[in-house]
């Protein structure tokens, strides 16, 4: 995981350095922000002490109240003290990952470090396409439509020049329009605006992870990936991304999420970003005959 995170950060740094739509001053600020990213992997350095919390095996309601009170007291005791950067907002067994713009930290708890996201014994193409793209997604939150308003110290400060700001907006408007057009249920569309930050995270994450995977191949095997089960490295990379977002909702749940969830439905988290990556077209021989085909000029590349 340390190696994966390092390669993702290096890949993003390289992409920022080669970025053509940011001016030099904004690019410098973006690189500064990236340099202060703090990854937290697996478990906290300091655990929450639950010894004062009384839990009984036969009273769910009292337990819920006791836990709420414990959580409240745990937060109140931090009041008036300096910010504790070692605190975790959730326990390490959680299957999730997060970015905190106020602290510029990305967190990957132990719970997500298992298949289908991560397996130390798995083919690297799969790890880069799965947890690699999730790492990239969280890094991307530092530079999405909301995260980009925070600077390298977590302060809300506009470090964007007007020109770079306008260029970012042109790209994200075009990208958001792709999602507005998706109709997961008859008459119910994704909101490109509501899901913007998460979609930017997915697109940037996949782009960063793809670049990182190829950095890894360059470092270890002269850029070549083996064919496994008849699949090329790039094919396995994209299939791994699809595997982590397998999911199923009842129509009512899906309809509610389209109104309230800042994430696009899983099916669109897979297909939405990939059709913007040239490498995906090459990997599977996708042509204008295919449903997900986008002409090159309509593909959005932010990072
Ligand atoms: Zn996210």
Among residues 33, 58, 85, the one where a domain terminates is 85
- 225, 270: one domain: yes
State the distance from the centre of ligand 1 to the C-alpha of 52, rounded, in angstroms.
33
Q: Please, what is the average pLDDT of the chain?
A: 96
Annotated active-site residue 202? The verdict is: yes
- 68, 196: one domain: no
- 208, 243: one domain: yes
- 74, 106: one domain: no
The answer to whether residue 241 is domain-embedded is: yes
Nearest residue to 1 via CA among 44, 46, 39, 47: 39
The answer to whether residue 188 is domain-embedded is: yes
- CA atoms of 201 and 210, how far apart (whole Å): 14
State the distance from the centre of ligand 1 to the C-alpha of 19, rounded, in angstroms.
23
The answer to whether residue 279 is domain-embedded is: yes
Q: Give 109-118 pLDDT, tens digit per residue.
A: 999 999 999 9
The answer to whether residue 303 is domain-embedded is: no
State the distance from the centre of ligand 1 to the C-alpha of 137, rounded, in angstroms.
6
Beta pairing class for 98-100 and 38-42: unpaired
The answer to whether residue 253 is domain-embedded is: yes
Which pLDDT score is estimated for 122?
Answer: 93
User: Is the previous residue joined to 89 through a cis bond, with omega within 30 degrees of 0?
Assistant: no
- 142, 75: one domain: no
Q: Give 112-141 pLDDT, tens digit per residue.
A: 999 999 999 999 999 999 999 999 999 999
| pLDDT over threshold 90, residue 48 | no
Q: Annotated catalytic residue: which of 123, 152, 198, 202?
A: 202
- 126, 36: one domain: yes
Question: Which domain, by its residues, includes 72?
Answer: 47-85
Which pLDDT score is estimated for 65?
Answer: 97
Q: Give 14-32 pLDDT, tens digit per residue.
A: 999 999 999 999 999 999 9
Percent of the chain scoring above 70 in pLDDT: 100
The answer to whether residue 203 is domain-embedded is: yes
CATH of residue 22's domain is 3.40.390.10
State the distance from the centre of ligand 1 to the C-alpha of 244, rounded, in angstroms.
14
State the distance from the centre of ligand 1 to the C-alpha of 174, rounded, in angstroms.
20
- 52, 36: one domain: no
| pLDDT over threshold 90, residue 143 | yes
- 103, 77: one domain: no
- 207, 242: one domain: yes
Domain total of the chain:
2
Which pLDDT score is estimated for 134?
Answer: 96
Beta pairing class for 105-109 and 98-100: antiparallel
Nearest residue to 277 via CA among 300, 243, 245, 261: 300
Among residues 63, 85, 107, the one where a domain terminates is 85
- 56, 117: one domain: no
Q: Give 153-207 pLDDT, tens digit per residue.
A: 999 999 999 999 999 999 999 999 999 999 999 999 999 999 999 999 999 999 9
- 116, 65: one domain: no
Q: Annotated catalytic residue: which of 123, 138, 152, 234?
A: 138
Coil, strand, or helix at residue 185? strand
| pLDDT over threshold 90, residue 47 | no
Q: Name the strand (E) or helix (H) holding 66.
A: helix 60-76
State the distance from the centre of ligand 1 to the C-alpha of 247, rounded, in angstroms.
16
């Amino acid at each position: 995981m340390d190696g994966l995170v390092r390669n993702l950060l290096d890949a993003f740094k390289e992409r920022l350095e080669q970025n053509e739509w940011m001016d030099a001053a904004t690019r410098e600020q973006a690189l500064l922000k990236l340099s202060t990213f703090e990854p937290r992997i697996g478990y906290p350095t300091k655990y929450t002490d639950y010894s004062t919390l009384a839990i009984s095996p036969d009273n769910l309601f009292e337990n819920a109240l006791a836990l709420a009170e414990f959580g409240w007291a745990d937060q109140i005791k931090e009041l008036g003290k300096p910010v504790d950067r070692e605190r975790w907002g959730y326990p390490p067994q959680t299957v999730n990952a997060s970015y905190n713009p106020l602290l510029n930290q990305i967190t990957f708890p132990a719970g997500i470090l298992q298949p289908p996201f991560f397996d130390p014994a798995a083919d690297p193409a799969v790890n880069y396409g799965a947890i690699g793209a999730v790492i990239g997604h969280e890094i991307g939150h530092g530079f999405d439509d909301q995260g980009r308003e925070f600077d390298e110290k977590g302060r809300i400060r506009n470090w964007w020049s007007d020109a770079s700001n306008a260029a970012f907006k042109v790209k994200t408007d075009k990208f958001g329009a792709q999602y507005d057009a998706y109709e997961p249920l008859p008459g119910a569309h994704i909101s490109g605006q509501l899901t913007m930050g998460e979609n930017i995270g997915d697109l940037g994450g996949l782009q960063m992870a793809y670049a990182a995977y190829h950095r890894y191949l360059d470092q270890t095997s002269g850029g070549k990936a083996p064919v496994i089960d008849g699949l090329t490295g790039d094919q396995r990379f994209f299939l791994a991304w699809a595997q982590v977002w397998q999911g199923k909702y009842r129509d009512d749940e899906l309809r509610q999420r389209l109104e309230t969830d800042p994430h696009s439905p899983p099916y669109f988290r897979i297909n939405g970003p990939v059709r913007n990556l040239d490498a995906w077209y090459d990997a599977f021989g996708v042509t204008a005959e295919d449903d997900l085909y986008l002409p090159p000029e309509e593909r959005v590349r932010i990072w």
